[in-house]
């Protein structure tokens, strides 16, 4: 079982959009996916919960709110285990119940338990985290617990600073881990090839070389529509150039899985 965080210390860098598309892609590969939305805005959890289509592969099942899950009286802390659904299992955090630093250990224990990570057969094939841009206890949970990190690079001129800040944050959390968080690469996010984007991409390639994933996450109406309609872009009817969009995501996410040591053949 491998878990993935989509995170960079920069607002609006497409973290949520990428995390949701990646989760949809994993379901397309018929993997059992637990989605952990640690952003109190809970956009990702809401999108996955509102899935509008008919396919069982994408049907949501909310296991609960992290704050309830770590409650000593919750059925989860008393030993209840999820039966992974045929679609997504979702753990969310609500704005009403913001986690404190003192909750980090309990939240990590709850994730261990729910995912069955220390069992011979973990309950999920993948866990995907979405995080808010501003640092909080939620980030500590993911940065200590997860295996792999993908950093979306905001293509504005300050985007690269976000990578440096995130690197420093990851470094400071690596000392709480038995093995360092694996870097699965930096992805040019919402890339549309304009002059600023090209310049930022050039600088990012110079500074971060092999860390840059070769396929950008292009700025596409299809990805925005998928989010707006709460369905994977390959299920949107009458979409122009549908195959190209899917092929792009396959290349991008296939690279991420490969870097994450997560066996994937196209
Ligand atoms: N590939 C894309 N093509 C077109 N629009 C996109 C793409 N990715 C993201 N967007 C749009 O960019 C905006 C920001 O995206 P998103 O919410 O995913 O960023 P975020 O990093 O999660 O933001 P926050 O820091 O607030 O959590 C949204 O309006 C989203 O629809
Ligand atoms: Mg977000």
Query: How many residues would you count in the chain?
Result: 266
Per-residue model confidence (pLDDT) at position 127: 98
Which residue range is the domain that position 167 belongs to?
Answer: 2-258
Give residue 245's pLDDT: 81
pLDDT of residue 266: 57
For residue 264, being part of any structural domain is answered with no
- How much is the pTM? 0.96
Token pair belonging to 21: 């598309």
End-to-end CA distance of the chain: 19
And the tokens for 194?
Answer: 């304009």
Helix 137-145 vs helix 104-115: crossing angle, to nearest 10: 40
How far, in Å, from the CA of 131 to the mean position of ligand 1?
A: 13
How many CA atoms lie within 13 Å of 222's alpha carbon, on the beta-carbon side? 20
In a domain, residue 265? The reply is no
Q: What are 261's two structure tokens?
A: 């040591």
The residues of the chain scoring below 70 in pLDDT are 239-241, 265-266
Distance in angstroms (rounded) separating the CA atoms of residues 212 and 32: 28
CA pair distance 88, 46, nearest whole angstrom: 12
Position 252 in a domain: yes
Determine, yes or no, domain membership for 152.
yes
Task: Report the domain count for the chain.
Answer: 1
Task: Report DSSP state, residue 233.
Answer: G
Q: Residue 175 contacts by C-beta under 8 Å, 6 or more apart in sequence?
A: none
208 located within any domain: yes
DSSP helix/strand/coil, 44:
helix
* Domain CATH for 67: 3.40.50.300
Asked whether residue 263 is domain-assigned, the answer is no
Classified as helix, coil or strand, 246 is helix
Q: Is residue 243 assigned to a domain?
A: yes
Q: Residue with structure tokens 């640092």? A: 135
- Among 17, 37, 226, which residue has the most ligand 1 atoms within 8 Å of its CB, making it the best to mutate? 17
Identify which of 22, 224, 233, 236 to mutate to test ligand 1's pocket (most ligand atoms within 8 A of the CB). 224
Taking the C-alpha atoms of residue 250 and residue 200, their distance in angstroms, rounded to an integer, is: 24
Q: Read off φ and ψ for residue 145, nearest 5 degrees.
A: -90, -40
Q: Does residue 11's CB lie within 6 angstroms of at least one atom of ligand 1? A: yes
For residue 12 and ligand 1, the question of a CB distance below 6 A is answered with yes
pLDDT value for 120: 87
How far is 139 from 147, CA to CA, in rounded Å? 14
Q: Tokens 């504005």 appear where? A: 156
**Whole-angstrom distance, CA of residue 157 vs CA of residue 56:** 42
């Amino acid at each position: 079982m491998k878990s993935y965080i989509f995170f960079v210390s920069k607002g609006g860098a497409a973290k949520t959009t990428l995390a949701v598309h990646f989760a949809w892609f994993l379901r397309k590969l018929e993997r059992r996916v637990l989605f952990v939305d640690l952003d109190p805005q809970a956009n990702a959890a809401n999108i996955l919960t509102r899935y509008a289509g008919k396919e069982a592969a994408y049907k949501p099942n909310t296991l609960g709110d992290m704050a309830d899950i770590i409650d000593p009286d919750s059925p989860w802390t008393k030993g209840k285990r999820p039966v992974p659904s045929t679609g997504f299992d979702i753990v969310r955090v609500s704005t009403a119940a913001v986690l404190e630093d003192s909750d980090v250990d309990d939240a990590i224990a709850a994730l261990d338990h729910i995912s069955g990570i220390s069992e011979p057969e973990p309950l999920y094939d993948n866990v995907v985290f979405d995080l808010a841009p501003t640092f909080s206890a939620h980030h500590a949970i993911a940065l200590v617990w997860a295996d792999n990190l993908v950093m979306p690079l905001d293509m504005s001129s300050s985007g690269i600073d976000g990578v440096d800040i995130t690197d420093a944050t990851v470094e400071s959390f690596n000392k709480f881990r038995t093995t360092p968080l694996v870097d699965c690469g930096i992805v040019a996010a919402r890339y549309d090839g304009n002059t600023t984007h090209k310049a930022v991409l050039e600088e990012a390639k110079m500074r971060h070389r092999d860390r840059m994933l070769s396929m950008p996450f292009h700025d596409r109406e299809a990805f925005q529509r998928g989010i707006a309609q709460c369905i994977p872009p390959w299920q949107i009817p009458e979409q122009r150039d549908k195959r190209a969009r899917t092929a792009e995501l396959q290349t991008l996410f296939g690279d991420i899985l490969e870097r994450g040591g997560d066996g994937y053949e196209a």
